[in-house]
Chains A and B, each alone.
Chain A
Amino acid sequence: MTGLLELLGLGASAELLSLSGWGGNLLRGLANSLQIAFGAFGLGLVIGLFGAYGKLYGGKVTRDLLAIYTTVIRAVPELVLILILYYVGSDIINKISAAMGGGRVEINGVAAGIWVLGVVQGAYATEVLRGAIKAVPTGQIEAAKSYGMPAFMIMRRVTIPAMMSFAVPGLANLWLIATKDTALLAVVGFNELTLETRQAASSTRAYFTFFLAAGFLYLMVTLCSGAVFARVEKWARRGQPSLKGGAR
């Protein structure tokens, strides 16, 4: 292995990327990025589900508030939002802490990242899920109603399972965006993959090696996600004949 790398003239790169050196830092950055992406995607799903139901079935005030939320979040660039939400959020927490007689609170980077990106994801998820819920044939929900199912059970047993097949492609998009939006958290000094890469590159001057490695890691995440989402979509589409097969 080492001999082969030497032969290709990549010995120096391999050494730079070794796990005990900068390579390990990159992987730790990746782990941080994924942790935030998972958290933000999950939080976004929860916000999105409430948002979608609120927009579809809520009262006028709920709908107006949600309209403001989705419009503002989707209108402002993510980078700006991250700066606003991060600094405003930590400011508010510190003000509250001060008011309650506490000292300065050290904001946990992961929690802050999840919160900030989760709020952004929630706005997009609201629209993805709203569209998916609207695509569920009304007859399926009517049938559930006509057999005496209460509203929450209809949501749990009929609407959510039936909308999944419509939601999965959009949600897969959101997940990939979440993994890449974690890179924006570099601006607030969070040690995710992009910031780790930049530090490694500028310390060693091996920009090409490290950014190529980081790109490779992002690509791996995308490929693995693609495989997972393909399985999820297959499960969500259970009972539906394949489109290209033309079965039936």
Chain B
Amino acid sequence: MDTAAAAASAPEADTRREAIRVEDLHKSFGNLEVLKGVDLTAHQGDVVAIIGGSGSGKSTMLRCINFLETPSSGKIVIGGEEVAMRSDGSPANQKQIERIRTKLAMVFQQFNLWTHRTLLENVIEVPVHVLKVPKAEAVARAHELLNRVGLGGKEGTYPAYLSGGQQQRAAIARALAVDPSAMLFDEPTSALDPELVGEVLTVIRDLAAEGRTMLLVTHEMKFAREVANHVVYLYQGRIEEQGPPAEVFGNPQSDRLKQFLSSVA
């Protein structure tokens, strides 16, 4: 797409490169329709916070973007490349989806580190085996990343011997190791003890500050308000309200959002 032309036709349009675009995304589990047509665009450098009550479809939406969940219908465009889908929503080209997934690093609520591998092995696993980076290079980078998230010296430790906060920081190092074009955070602090939430948020805040593109499903409203430049409120599978955090949090329009914000405050 010619960005200049787009900007001319729609003066308010964002001229930064588009990272993730979701169009009319639907997802049903059996008879239960969890997503009822969601549209979302994230440009490079955007930090999009996705908030909403439990069952609002926010995690499902995130998981549809990298096809961990197969969408029922809709369109997903990553870095300008549309994911080819069959009529039932499953990816038509497994190679394409595998290639796209390597650019989208996911951080899970339950960390999902590989428990039979040390932290270092967890971080170099994808660079070495999927991206075919020379091992020495991957190891050097892994040391750097583990240092960065405050886990220098824990390279040889297995995940089970670490606290939840440490595991999640290691999972973030694993995500950074693939040099992703966008990061997907699926409630990264929800499984943590309250005193461990801060250390993980600090790492995410740093990443946001260096201009990484992130989609962040979270329950931490204060944090969302602070790091996001765009906030999306999902209610029962639809986007009820979205906008800059100051607007969404400071001046909510819909009654549901008002009620939601007062219930979590």
Contacts and interface: CB of A to CB of B under 8 A. Distances in A.
Which of B94, B101, B115 has the most A CB atoms < 10 Å from its CB?
B115
A162 B159 CA distance: 13
Contacts of A137: 112, 115
A247 to B, nearest CB: 7
Nearest to A165: B116
A38 B117 CA distance: 29
Interface size class of B (residues with CB under 8 A): 20 to 34
Interface in A138-163: 139-140, 142-150, 153, 157-158, 161-162
Given A157-B129, A240-B160, A146 B101 contact: yes
Interface string A205-248: 00000000000000000000000000000000011110000011
A240 B106 CA distance: 24
A147 B105 contact: yes
A148 B115 contact: no
A204 B219 CA distance: 82
Interface size class of A (residues with CB under 8 A): 20 to 34
Contacts, number: 75
Contacts of A147: 101-102, 105-106, 125-126, 130, 178
Contacts of B159: 239
Given A139-B112, A149-B98, A150-B98, A239 B130 contact: no
Given A143-B106, A146-B66, A247-B161, A162 B126 contact: no
Contacts of B116: 161-162, 164-165, 238-239
B171 to A, nearest CB: 8
B125 to A, nearest CB: 7
Given A147-B105, A148-B101, A238 B158 contact: yes
A163 B203 CA distance: 32
B125 A142 contact: no
Interface in A115-157: 137, 139-140, 142-150, 153, 157
Contacts of B113: 143
Which of A147, A241, A247 has the most B CB atoms < 10 Å from its CB?
A147
Contacts of B101: 145-148
A141 to B, nearest CB: 9
B115 A146 contact: no
A162 B115 contact: yes
B105 A142 contact: no
B114 interface: yes
B110 A139 contact: yes
A241 B160 contact: yes
Contact of A241 (B94, B102, B161): B161
B56 to A, nearest CB: 21
Contacts of A161: 116
Nearest to B105: A147
A140 B115 contact: yes
Contacts of B106: 143, 146-147
Contacts of B102: 147-148
A238 B118 CA distance: 9
A160 to B, nearest CB: 10
15 contacts: A137-B112, A139-B111, A143-B114, A144-B114, A145-B101, A146-B106, A147-B105, A147-B130, A148-B98, A148-B99, A148-B126, A158-B114, A240-B158, A241-B160, A248-B161
- Which 6 pairs across A and B sit closest by C-beta, in order of nearness? A239-B158, A148-B102, A148-B101, A139-B112, A143-B112, A146-B106
Given A139-B111, A146-B66, A162-B114, 12 more contacts: A137-B115, A140-B114, A140-B115, A146-B68, A147-B106, A147-B178, A148-B98, A148-B99, A150-B94, A164-B116, A239-B118, A240-B158
